[in-house]
Amino acid sequence: MRRRKLIKSIVCVILFLAIVCVVFISQIQLEKERYRPTQEYALTSDIKDRICQITSDNPIEVIKASNDLCCDLLSFSAKNDIPNGKANCVGYAQLSSAIINYAFNLNEIPYKARPVVGQVCCFGINLTALSQKILPKKHRSFFKDHDFVEVDLGNKIIYTDSSLQDLIGWKVIEIKESA
């Protein structure tokens, strides 16, 4: 009897934590500050071959599949070494935008992805700024700003973040109406 109550309690705690995580993650917002002045990453023939498997005329589906591929190709690191599968948010945004653009071109979708610098917010709290206040000084520069990808669809702007997706295991795509 006690064992059954313990199991029920553990299951309830796990469900509660899962719900809290889902609510927290669903409230993540990406806010662009400026464009990142970078050159587009030159894709290898192996990566191009993998991108050829992304077939859709729906730009959002292409973006999702491209982010999945980017996450498959990279793991998080403090330094960018994309050819060796290591990157920080800047590298993730560079590779992700290059993959999206190549997939758009293959599928004859007339849009362009660009890396941008911005902030990550949740429930109205700027997590990027908060990290500057609570992290040890030696880690603050790493979290000073954050890179993600912007795709302007004309009537909508899509922000997507493959580095956060890789970190939390949840697709981070925000769709905003254009002004």
Residue 16 within any structural domain of the chain: no
Computed over every residue of the chain, the mean pLDDT equals 80
| CATH number for the domain harbouring residue 142 | 3.10.620
Residue 15 within any structural domain of the chain: no
**What is the span of the domain harbouring residue 169?**
40-177
Residue 59: the pLDDT is 93
- pLDDT tens column, 141-155: 556 678 899 998 888
Q: In whole angstroms, give the CA distance from residue 136 to residue 159.
A: 29
What percent of the chain shows pLDDT beyond 90? Answer: 31
Residue 26 within any structural domain of the chain: no
Torsion of CA 63, 66, 67, 71, to 10 degrees: 180
Does 168 have pLDDT greater than 50?
A: yes
Does 127 have pLDDT greater than 80?
A: no
Q: In whole angstroms, give the CA distance from residue 179 to residue 10.
A: 47
Does 107 have pLDDT greater than 70?
A: yes
Residue 173 within any structural domain of the chain: yes
Residue 21: the pLDDT is 47
Q: Could you please report the per-residue DSSP string of 141-167? A: GGGSSEEEEEEE-SSEEEEE-HHHHHH
- pLDDT tens column, 40-83: 888 999 999 999 899 899 999 999 999 999 999 998 887 888 89
Residue 88: the pLDDT is 85
Strand partners of residue 34:
117
Q: In whole angstroms, give the CA distance from residue 71 to residue 96.
A: 9
Residue 146 within any structural domain of the chain: yes
Residue 53: the pLDDT is 92
Residue 13 within any structural domain of the chain: no
Does 12 have pLDDT greater than 60?
A: no
- Cβ atoms 113, 67 nearer than 8 A: no
The total of other beta-carbon atoms located within 10 Å of residue 13's CB is 10
| Pairing relationship of beta strands 86-87 and 75-76 according to DSSP bridges | parallel
What total of structural domains would you count in the chain? 1
Q: In whole angstroms, give the CA distance from residue 62 to residue 142.
A: 30
Residue 178: the pLDDT is 67
Residue 57 within any structural domain of the chain: yes
Residue 158 within any structural domain of the chain: yes
